[in-house]
Amino acid sequence: MRNTTSKLFFSLLYPGVFLILLWAIKLYETISGVNLSWYGLYPRSIHGLFGIVTSPMLHGDWSHLAANSIPLLILGSFILYFYRSIAFQIFFWVYLMTGIWVWTAAREAYHIGASGIIYGFITFLFFSGVFRKDTKLLAVSLFVVFLYGGTIWGVLPLKNGMSWESHLLGSLAGLITAYHFRKEGPRNTQYNFGDDEENEQIDASGGEEWEASEELNDAPGEIIVNYNYLPKEKDGNLS
């Protein structure tokens, strides 16, 4: 119980600290009257290169920040809880790839906000469970789809003033990260559904099996059952 509590605390700690930083920046903007959006990501410009690092920390207003805060906390905690050994690498890959690709391919406008990272976390959590074929992580994938499946429309240019490029490229970064780390991190959880018990029963019988077949006798309504002895094959094919 203590280990689970410690793991949960650790999973909430780092996303919480990151959120405190984002809220502190927005509070500074509000108190000082300074607009830090100029430090956002402006594609294909020298000064816009700084935005690769700074743009996820900047938000247009308090509602923008509030909308991104809960998904960051939930999804970041999921990654730290289930992928603890590689969590910081996942964060770095999604953060950096999203920023570089937006700088390279997005419209010429200032792109700010952490939504690109959120989309990267969503696709990572979904596809990581699919690639690993792990029962527990697949359950996490389905839960993420249940929570944020509707965000898929955000990758399309349907709303003015929204950086759909960040959403789309962040999603791609999450997919690539999930594939890259598919063999690293948590071990697959395997469950025994009785196959081993059945095999033990066969082995206990001396490696022999019996096959029953039915034949119709000439007399109406009478069935003769023949039991054929089948020796166990030493080399079998597993499917």
pLDDT of residue 5: 85
Average pLDDT for residues 7-32, to the nearest whole number?
96
pLDDT at 182 over 80: yes
pLDDT of residue 199: 47
- In the chain, % helix, strand, coil (3-state, to 5) comes to 65, 10, 25
pTM of the prediction? 0.77
What's the DSSP call for residue 112? Answer: -
CB count in 10 Å sphere of residue 43: 19
pLDDT at 45 over 80: yes
pLDDT at 185 over 80: yes
pLDDT of residue 190: 52
C-alpha–C-alpha distance, residues 71 and 106, integer Å:
23
Q: Where are the domains of the chain?
A: 2-180
Q: 2-180 domain in CATH 1.20.1540.10?
A: yes
Q: Which helix (H) or strand (E) holds 83?
A: none
Average pLDDT for residues 69-78, to the nearest whole number?
97
C-alpha–C-alpha distance, residues 114 and 109, integer Å:
16
Q: List C-alpha distances in Å: 217 to 86, 220, 226, 227.
A: 68, 7, 12, 15
Average pLDDT for residues 203-229, to the nearest whole number?
42
